[in-house]
Structure formats: C-alpha cells, structure tokens
Amino acid sequence: QVQLVESGGGWVQAGGSLRLSCLASGSIVSLNTMAWYRQAPGTQRELVAVISSDGSTRAADPVKGRFTISRDAAKNTVYLQMNRLNPEDTGDYYCYAYVRTAGTYTAYWGQGTQVTVSS
C-alpha cells in the first residue's frame, strides 16, 4: 500500500503565499508522474500542475507564473509553491501520484488539504 499525505494548507490573505507538501510512503518502487489538483465547492476537481519523473513540469493557465511544482526524489515528496494567491485559488488541494509498486503501476490520491484565500 501507498499513502500520500499533504500538508501546508491554511488561510492566507490575497497576495500571500503558501507552500504545500505531499509525502509518499509505503511499498514504493518508483514514483512516476506527480501532480496537484484542486476542487472548489460545487466544482469539479481540476489539474493545477504536474511534474514528470524527469522533472519536466506543466501548470494550468490560471496558475501559470504564480505556482511552481517541484519534487525531491530522495524524500518522495512533491511541493507546490503558491504565490500571489487570490480568492479564486480557494479550495481543497489534492496530491496525485502514479506509483510503481511490486509488479504494477497504480494511481494514488492524498486526502486533501484546504486552502482559503480571503480578499
């Protein structure tokens, strides 16, 4: 089994910054693609940013230039640095990882961490 545990969410005023972390643990052979998604109340979950095993990244248009995804392979951790936050960034943020365990690849999700941006 693999667990993804997010941390770093909270409340911040518009214009502020937060850094989310997601630690993967368990029976991991390798971590492939990792990503952050978010879901605001009453909306569908949407991709925020993704990072491949080779370090290449892609961010959704609403967060380009403000959010940066990175990973520390040695720590099995992915980060999301969020700058110049605005109220539209409010939501639950979820970590995603495509994980190779013994003999198979499986997608895993974290439990989510809440981000609230006040105007």
pLDDT at site 103: 82
User: For residue 16, how many other CB atoms are within 10 A of its CB?
Assistant: 15
pLDDT at site 37: 98
pLDDT at site 15: 98
Residue-wise pLDDT for 52-100, tens only, equals 999 999 999 999 999 999 999 999 999 999 999 999 999 999 999 999 9
Residue-wise pLDDT for 6-60, tens only, equals 999 999 999 999 999 999 999 999 999 999 999 998 999 999 999 999 999 999 9
